[in-house]
Structure 1
Amino acid sequence: MKTTQSTALRRVSRPQPFGRRGHARPNDQALTHLTGTILRRLLAETENPVLHASLRRAAAEAESLAWLTSVPLLVLPTLLEEKARAARFYATRQAELREASREWVSLTE
């Protein structure tokens, strides 16, 4: 006689709602749409095309990080603003360093 696994030992997996309070995850389109809306506003405020690439990278990174939270649609706007601020600071600093290095090169010639 074959013995089968006891029904008490079997695990029945049931789909669980996401998050502690049962909130469902937003669909990809909602988060992507929100990211695009905020990114378009940030790009419209910026005339520097070099900064556009940095802002796009910041938006992609913020969207990825927002997915790791239980409420990505709520977290994304603040996170994207912080990433955009850091991208602007970095671009400004790089421009200052480029200018300073040009001055140093002109002094050595």
Structure 2
Amino acid sequence: MPIVVRAFPLLQPVEAMNAFIAALAGERKQEAEQFFRHYGVSHESWHLQETGNGPWVIAISMVDDPAAAAACYANASEEFHCWFRAQVQQLSGVDPQQAPLGPPTTCVFNWFDGERLGSNLCG
């Protein structure tokens, strides 16, 4: 299954990101689950990384068809989808309607243990 990795600068306080995450895991959990399934996402994780240039969020997704999901997500008009996009743009400055898969990413190194089944996430 294809993996999509994105890195977003966090332009708002970490507390604003935590509020977004709390909504996804709390009162909007069911909508979030439907949202991810709608786009063929089987794994979604976000990782906060503190850098000398401020915090960044690294997002990792396993998606059935990233190109199809990106086009659908960029043009979605459902309330939750629009709210989700607005949160991403407010927190990072990245417009998901212009860059639905986030800032462009290129895999520059991929090592995996060929003796361990399923260890190659990028291939």
TM-score range, shorter chain: under 0.3
* Greater relative contact order (CA < 8 Å, ≥ 6 in sequence): 2
TM-score by length of 1: 0.26
Task: Name the one with the larger strand percent.
Answer: 2
TM-score by length of 2: 0.25
